[in-house]
A and B are shown apart, each in its own frame.
Chain A
């Protein structure tokens, strides 16, 4: 239909910019975005650096290899739960029951192994399905009946703690000593496997980014300057190789029993991060999640089944929360009646928000959960090392959550003012 417009009028988009020309321009554009309120992961990365410096100065054990590995493992379940919450937060909803639902799924898994002699694979699938069912019920109540997600999931938060009590028995716990499950948080990849995995990931990432860049240039599509792509690849390689290097050192205090290698929970997080990033960024489902979170009515008018998206998001969230519950059980060696309760969920919400996911919906990424989860785990870990009373831990974590939410709210106001 382009022929209905005369040639003389083809001025506008004919010369729209397909790239910001230089690295300098990109940096400038980025600074402008940050000042306009689109902070993304910047505050959390800065916060992480500050925390590392503070705790590193305050306690010389903080930066030890042993503690770094410990920190990574502690962060694992928080990061996974935060990742699970990101799509829910993208819709502008909340799932307060995710932590408890995760542990309910983990309890189902544990009981199947311990009491019913099932293999770990069957038990894990059953646990995940438990989460799926809880998520579907939550989603239907929120989407079809229109009950605010806050209320539905608060009810589930309480109700599922009761279910957990009934499953496990008052004051009891389910032991998790099945080697595979227990191994997630307690065993390490071999040093060689760790290096190979790191290098493979870097090479694949670099190849994909460069190919994508070449294709975009060839087809004259909007693209970043090559320099930015290279900076991203190098930064990614440095971080990954650095982590691998630290975790591949012997961190045992006993010279006769070396402990070295990447804890298995890290590759698990990486796989989930890739899957989640792909689902949210490259599939129709992900695009529709952002659309519903941005403007549900516009999404509906575009023919998107808003209810179905909402139900699917709660379903995915709770299913993934079970993965987090299993990692938590693996780390603690048991599922107890208190697992997943307490501050588990607030840690995860805090992680997602600190990482840059907005509580107002429509903005956020899976990778936010990783950075934010590390911040939260660092606070817990660092304060623990300083042997502070646990009340300080609560107060500090609450304060950080509040700070993140404040940053979120303020940057949202600035975004709408600057139209970013």
Chain B
């Protein structure tokens, strides 16, 4: 894998909230066409890492590279402009707006100064159509009336809508039932197969082993390991998550900064 350039790469990222040092020299790489799983215990800093990438809590120090180029991301707009779409753990949808309005929030189509509702509705329907949601009656339905899985689908559909290059999903299946988890995982795989770089955060190792090509384990804000899925067993990953090391893992516990 090291011969392709990562779509998105972080090097030596640190992030503190006041005196709480949450991320320590974190390295992360997301490759095109691959699903990278980010695993770690509660509070390991996974969501914080995602928010650093999104520009919501920009990192204190460290490099942010997109397609090999150093970039600076200071806000959600910068990340969106690069083609990074994020599906947040705590769903970032506005309950009082409908599906179309949510999918275009912050990036509305306009005719002059007037919102171009027709274009937005048609594009949103197009994007959603491709995700085979059977239970939603209308794209003009208020988001508050959707189930957890449907909301998740709307959030993921944004990445289809905006033709994103990198999609970060923070525990997208945590609140979902069996069938909807299946759908989301299939979707994650298909996104990657179409060339998108996907980062999947999940506590469910079965899911991780099913869809991920690489696994990055965070332990107390440090990268414990960055390995190919086929090189590790579930038991080893559990060890990495809970203790930060794995005795019989024949990869370097800390990968070098140059991937």
State whether A13 and B163 are in contact (beta carbons under 8 Å apart), knowing that A2-B129, A295-B95, A420-B144 are contacts in the complex.
no
A14–B134 CA distance with the chains assembled, in angstroms: 9
A167 to B167, CA, bound (A): 59
Tell which of A16, A301, A418 touches B54, judged by Cβ atoms closer than 8 Å.
A301
Is A302 interfacial (CB 8 A cutoff)? yes
Q: Is the CB of A284 within 8 A of B97?
A: no
The answer to whether A5 and B131 touch across the interface, beta carbons within 8 angstroms, is yes
Distance in Å: Cβ of B114 to nearest Cβ of chain A: 5
Alpha-carbon separation in the docked complex, A299 to B95 (Å):
11
The answer to the question of A10 belonging to the interface, with a C-beta cut-off of 8 Å to chain B, is yes
A420-B131 in contact (CB<8A): no
A–B complex contacts, Cβ < 8 Å, 7 sampled? A10-B129, A12-B132, A16-B125, A288-B106, A301-B54, A303-B75, A420-B142
A16 and B139 in contact, given A219-B122, A299-B105, A302-B76 (Cβ under 8 angstroms)? yes
B205 part of interface (Cβ distance < 8 Å)? no
CA distance A293 to B99 in the complex (A): 16
Please encode chain B, from 125 to 150, with 1 for each CB lying within 8 Å of some chain A CB and 0 for all others. 11111111111111110101110000
Q: How far is the CB of B226 from chain A (nearest CB, A)?
A: 27
Identify B125's interface contact among A9, A13, A288, A304, CB under 8 A: A13
- Verify if A166 is at the interface (C-beta below 8 Å from B): no
B240 close to chain A: CB less than 8 A: no
Additional A-B contacts beyond A17-B137, A420-B144 (13; CB < 8 A) = A4-B130, A4-B193, A11-B132, A14-B129, A16-B137, A18-B138, A291-B97, A295-B93, A298-B92, A299-B105, A302-B76, A302-B92, A303-B106
Is B171 on the interface with A (CB-CB < 8 A)?
A: no
CA distance A248 to B4 in the complex (A): 79
Asked if B21 is at the interface (CB within 8 A of a chain A CB), the reply is: no
Q: How far is the CA of A296 from the CA of B179 in the complex (A)?
A: 31
Q: A286-327: contact bitstring with B at CB < 8 Å (1 yes, 0 no)?
A: 011011011101111111100000000000000000000000
Shortest CB-to-CB span from B9 to chain A, Å, is 22
Q: How many A residues touch B, CB cutoff 8 Å?
A: 44
Contact A298 B93 (CB under 8 A): yes
The answer to whether the Cβ of A413 comes within 8 Å of any Cβ in the partner chain is: no
A144 at the interface (CB under 8 A from B): no
6 nearest interchain CB pairs? A302-B106, A294-B96, A294-B94, A12-B133, A362-B96, A303-B77
Contact with B along A263-287 (1 / 0, CB 8 A): 0000000000000000000111001
Q: What is the distance, in angstroms, from A176's C-beta to the closest C-beta of chain B?
A: 35
Asked whether A301 and B194 contact (CB < 8 A) given A11-B134, A282-B114, A362-B95, the answer is: no
A301 to chain B, nearest CB (A): 5
A360 to nearest B CB, angstroms?
10
Compute the total of residue contacts between A and B using a CB distance below 8 Å. Answer: 138
Taking CB atoms, residues of chain B closer than 8 Å to A3 are 194
Docked complex Cα distance between A72 and B77 (Å): 47
Contact B76 A284 (CB under 8 A): no
Most B CB within 10 A of own CB, among A1, A10, A13, A222 = A13
Instruction: Please state if A2 and B105 are interface contacts (CB–CB under 8 Å).
Output: no
A13 close to B108 (CB less than 8 A): no
- Find out whether the CB atom of A301 lies under 8 angstroms from the CB atom of B115: no
Please tell me if the beta carbons of A222 and B140 are within 8 angstroms of each other in the complex. yes
Q: Please measure, in the bound complex, the distance between the C-alpha atom of A302 and the C-alpha atom of B115, giving whole angstroms.
A: 17
Contact check, B94 vs A5: say whether CB atoms are below 8 A apart.
no
Q: Which residue of A lies closest to B79 (CB)?
A: A303
Which residues of the partner chain B approach A297 to less than 8 Å between Cβ atoms?
Answer: 92
* B138 adjacent to A4 (CB under 8 Å): no
Q: How far is the CA of A18 from the CA of B113 in the complex (A)?
A: 26
Question: Which of chain A's residues have a CB closer than 8 A to the CB of B137?
Answer: 16-17
Chain B residues with CB below 8 A from A299, complex form: 94, 105-106
Q: How far is the CA of A153 from the CA of B158 in the complex (A)?
A: 39
Beta-carbon contact of A216 and B77 below 8 Å:
no
Minimal Cβ-Cβ distance residue in B for A8: B132
Q: Nearest-CB distance from B189 to chain A (Å)?
A: 10
Q: Are B92 and A294 in contact (CB under 8 A)?
A: no
Contact between B130 and A10, CB atoms less than 8 A apart = yes
Q: Is A215 an interface residue (CB 8 A)?
A: yes
B88 and A363 contact, CB distance less than 8 A? no
The answer to whether B144 and A216 touch across the interface, beta carbons within 8 angstroms, is no
CA distance A240 to B56 in the complex (A): 49
A254 within 8 A of B: no
Contact between A293 and B92, CB atoms less than 8 A apart = no
B86 is an interface residue with CB less than 8 A from chain A: yes
Chain A's closest residue to B142 (CB) is A420
CB-based contact A416/B92 at 8 Å = no
B80 CB → nearest A CB, Å: 6
B96 interface neighbour in A4, A13, A222, A290, Cβ under 8 Å: A290
Verify A12–B142 contact, CB threshold 8 A: no
Cβ of A34 to closest chain B Cβ, rounded Å: 15
A residues 95-148 touching B (CB-CB < 8 Å): none
User: Smallest CB-CB separation from A215: which chain B residue?
Assistant: B118
Q: Is B67 an interface residue (CB 8 A)?
A: no
Q: How far is the CB of A76 from chain B (nearest CB, A)?
A: 28
Contacts A2-B129, A283-B115, A300-B56 given; does A420 touch B145 at CB 8 Å: yes
Verify A301–B56 contact, CB threshold 8 A: yes
B122-A287 in contact (CB<8A):
no
